[in-house]
Amino acid sequence: MSGPRIGVLVVDDSEAIRMLLVHLIEQDPALRVAGAVGGGGQAVAFVQADPPDVVLMDIQMDGMDGFEATRRIMESRPVPIVMCSAVTDVHAAATAFHAYDAGAVALVEKPAGGSHPDAVRLGRELLQTLRLMSEVKVVRRWSRKPQVRAPQPPPPSSRIRFVGIGASTGGPPALQAILQRLDKDFPVPIVVVQHISAGFLPGLSEWLGQTTAVRVQIAAHGIEARPGQVYLAPDDFHLTVGEHRRLRLETTPPLHGLRPAVDLLFHSIARHCGPNAVGILLTGMGKDGAQGLLAMHGSGATTLVQDKATSVVYGMPGEAVALGAASQVLPLERIGEALQRIVQPHSHSKALP
């Protein structure tokens, strides 16, 4: 490859895991190991002295854990930090998602060693994440201050019936930022396709439920979507909207190599809700969701797309903008407030801190 290799600092208190991660990283021609340390305090000191391009940080460590080390790095010498966690149970996974609150830009599952059947997949996902996140040269902690703006009119539809959201890389903290702006009595269902590694979804659901006012659950086939409830597409199932607010889980082939796919969700909302819906496409790699958002836009729905400046990866939203699928292109911190105003145009939006 041309150009310098991306420098990675590996932080893990297990020598065996450190050696595994170092070996994995050195196999990638785009990456190099800038250092390998066994604790959070050492990581903070290393970054102060010689900042790497990206940090791969364990969470559970003796002494200073990964959360505290991440907070200190982000307060003093910010660099992109990818948190690495073993998925053991729902509560452990939910705890891992608090890495985003500490300032991490991504969360990945710790790769397994030896002949574990998921070893190759997990290793590939970790390396791809390190390459992508190293490009986030300035790690953004999105402002929550109100901004002066012209009032936006509500959509011409008589009543919003569904909100659909699609996201991929960088999506979990973006979802949290939007849902935190919504009242607990938000009057319509929200259906979400978030591309995420298998096993992390229950933790994501619990974390969003803990840190926002809305109710969050993993979608089930045939249930009626309820107002104020957020439904996440389960692992390896497409999620679509049918008649009478019924949710459908489908095992039709992957689209764009993905199951669930945002496009299928958005196309179903366009068919069944027409102008009485809102579609939101957030940060993510690839093009999933862009054509579906265009279908929603063509049916009269209001379509919101995250802007380039606040997207970790501008693939999916950029594709939607290029197609002309966006009613509005907004920075992340304005999307939740805009959604509240569109759905409840005569109510006051949730106060910003």
Rg (Cα) of the chain, in Å, rounded? Answer: 20
Residue whose C-alpha is closest to residue 162's, from 242, 223, 221: 242
Instruction: Encode 21-56: b = buried (16+ Cβ within 10 Å), e = exposed.
Output: bbebbeebeebebbbbbbbbebbbebbeeebbbbbb
**Chain-centroid distance, C-alpha 40:** 25
Element spanning 46, H or E? helix 40-49
168 is catalytic: yes
Report yes or no: 249 and 261 within 8 Å, Cβ to Cβ: no
Write down the catalytic residue from 28, 53, 134, 168: 168
Candidate list 28, 53, 288, 307, residue with the active-site label: 288
Would you state the structure tokens that stand for residue 101, as one six-digit string?
């609150």
Q: Which sign does the torsion angle of CA 19, 14, 88, 170 carry? A: negative
User: How far apart are the C-alpha atoms of 100 and 174, rounded to whole Å?
Assistant: 10
User: What is the C-alpha to C-alpha distance for residues 353 and 340, in angstroms, rounded to an integer?
Assistant: 16
Half-sphere exposure in the Cβ direction for 300 (13 Å, CA): 13
Instruction: Encode the chain (353 residues) as per-residue pLDDT tens digits.
Output: 567 999 999 999 999 999 999 999 999 999 999 999 999 999 999 999 999 999 999 999 999 999 999 999 999 999 999 999 887 667 777 888 989 999 999 999 888 766 666 788 889 999 999 999 998 754 444 444 433 343 344 444 448 999 999 999 999 999 999 999 999 999 999 999 999 988 899 999 999 999 999 999 999 999 999 999 999 999 999 999 999 999 999 999 999 999 999 999 999 999 999 999 999 999 999 999 999 999 999 999 999 999 999 999 999 999 999 999 999 999 999 999 999 999 987 554 444 33
Instruction: Classify residue 162 as exposed, middle or buried by CB count within 10 Å of its CB (0-12, 13-18, 19+).
Output: buried
Q: Indicate which residue of 195, 238, 272, 297 is catalytic.
A: 195
User: 352 with 146: CB under 8 angstroms?
Assistant: yes
What structural domains does the chain harbor?
6-133 (3.40.50.2300), 162-343 (3.40.50.180)
Strand-pair partners of 194 = 167
| Catalytic-residue membership of 221 | no
Nearest-angstrom CA–CA distance, 217 and 63: 34
**Edge-to-edge strand ranges of the sheet holding 106-109:** 31-37, 6-11, 54-58, 81-85, 106-109
Residue 135 pLDDT:
85
The verdict on whether 62 is a catalytic residue reads no
